[in-house]
Amino acid sequence: MQKDSPSVPPDEAPIEHRFQFTGAGGEYFRIWIVNLLFSILTFGIYSAWAKVRREQYFHRNTLLDGSGFDYHGDPKAILKGRIIAVALLLILGLIDKWAHDFYYLVVTAASPLIPWLIIRSLIFRSRNTSFRGLHFDFHGTYKELCKAYLVPFILFIALIWAMAHAAEQSALETVLHGAPQSATSGLLALSVLGLFLLMPVLLYRLKVFQFKNLAFGASRFESGFKLKSFYSIFLRATVLIPLALSLVFIALPLVAVNLTLGHTPRSTAIILLPFIALLYISLLIVLPPWFTARMANLIWNNTSIDKHGFKSDLAFRGLAWINASNLLLMLLTLGLYWPWAAVRMARYRIEHTAVLAAGDLDSFIAGAARERSAIGEEVADAFDFDIAF
C-alpha cells in the first residue's frame, strides 16, 4: 500500500526489528479453560481476572529485540468498568422496550458520556502496558476528543435512527403491499449511504486522536494519516459491503415474506435460502480480513515515535486463510479450538509487524526512561477503569 508519509526520515538507514510471538495453543488452552470455568461459576465476575491473565499471556509472549511486553491491569478496575458498561446497556435496553419513541433521543443526550468512557479506557490500557519496565501513557483530554468526535457521532446516531426507522417501515410495507414505498426505500438508501460516508471520518479522527496522544515514556507517537486513505479503503469495499447488506436486510427478509404470503414457491425458497446464507458466510470470511489487513498496514506504516518508524505487511490471503480455517476447526471441535485459533491469529499479526529503528533501540529506551523519571509517573485516580471486554 502506498504510504501517506514516510515513517522514518529518508536520510536514515533504519534497522528492521521484527516482533515475535512465542505463545502456543496448548499452553494458552490451559489458561483459557480455567478462565472459562471460573467465569461460568462466578456468573461472569471472574471474567475481569480472566482478562488480566489473557492479556498478560499475550503481552509477555510478544517480543521485540528479545524482550517481552507486560500488562499490569487491575482486575477490580476492569470489573468496575464492566459493571458501568452493563448498567448502561441495561438502562438503554429498558428504555428501548418500555419507551421506544425516546430511545434515540436518550442515546443522543447521553452521547457526551461516550468520549469520557473512551478516554478512560485508552488511559487505562496504555498506562498498564509496559516494555522493559517502561510504561506507555496517554495524554488525550475529554475536551479534545469532543471537539474532534462529538458532532460526527451525533450525526452517526441520527443516521442509525433513520436507517432503523426506514427498515421497520420497509418491512411493514412489504407485508401490507408486497413491496416498500419509494419514499421509504429512498430514506433507507440515503441513511445507509450517509453512514458509509461518515464511517471513515469517525475512524480517521479516532485514530489520529489515539496515536498523537499515545506516548512511550516521555516520547510521543506521531501519525501521518490522511482522510483520503481511509476513504480509499472504504470505497474499495463498496463491492462487498452493499452485497452483504443486501443479503441480510433485503434478500433474506423478502424471500421469507414472499414465502409466507405464498408468492414464492417452496422449491425456489429451498434453493435460494441456503445459497444466500452460504454467500453471506463467505462474505463474513472474506470482508473482515481484507479490511483488517488494509487498515493495519495504513495505520502502522504511517506511525512513528521520535525517529523510529513501523512497518506492517499483513496480507489479505494470509489473514483470510487463518480466518476460514479457524472457523472450520472451531465448528468441528464445538469451539474447543478457540485457544489455538487465537494464538494463530496473534502470531500472524504480530510477526508481520516490525519497528524500523533509526539508531540503537537500547539508547532510545534508556533516554525515554530518564525523561519519564524526570517528569514523574501519573497517579491512578478513582476513575481508573477499562470498559473493553
pLDDT digits (tens, 9 = 90+) for 81-135: 888 888 888 888 888 788 877 777 787 777 778 888 888 889 999 999 999 988 9
Convert the pLDDT of each residue in 138-159 to its tens digit.
999 999 988 888 788 888 878 8
Burial of 341-380, coded b for 16+ CB within 10 Å and e otherwise, reads bbbbbbbbbbebbbbbbbeebeebbeebbeebeeeeeeee
Q: Three-class SS of residue 303? A: strand
pLDDT higher at 35 or 283: 35
pLDDT for 304: 94
Convert the pLDDT of each residue in 31-70 to its tens digit.
999 999 999 999 989 999 999 999 999 999 999 999 999 9
User: What DSSP element (H or E) covers 255?
Assistant: helix 252-261
* Least confident stretch, 8-22, 165-179, 326-340: 165-179
Average pLDDT over residues 261-290: 63
382 falls in which pLDDT band (50, 70, 90)? very low
* Least confident stretch, 17-21, 183-187, 232-236, 296-300: 183-187
pTM of the model: 0.79
State how beta strands 308-312 and 219-223 pair: unpaired
Residue ranges covered by each domain of the chain? 95-127+140-212, 225-291
Separation CA 287–CA 237 (nearest Å): 8
Separation CA 343–CA 19 (nearest Å): 15
Residue 348 pLDDT greater than 80, yes or no = yes
pLDDT for 6: 46
Q: What is the CA radius of gyration of the chain?
A: 24
Convert the pLDDT of each residue in 169-201 to its tens digit.
777 776 677 666 777 777 777 888 888 888 899
Convert the pLDDT of each residue in 199-228 to its tens digit.
899 899 999 999 999 999 888 999 998 999
**C-beta neighbour count of 7 within 10 angstroms:** 23
Query: What number of residues does the chain have?
Result: 389
Phi, psi (deg, nearest 5) at residue 19? -70, 150
2 falls in which pLDDT band (50, 70, 90)? very low
CB 197 within 8 A of CB 282: no
* Least confident stretch, 133-137, 222-226, 271-275, 333-337: 271-275
Give the list of residues 6+ apart from residue 254 with CB closer than 8 angstroms, or none.
174
pLDDT for 376: 40
Phi, psi (deg, nearest 5) at residue 20? -125, 150
Residue 372 pLDDT greater than 60, yes or no = no
Q: Which cell is 180 given? A: 416498500
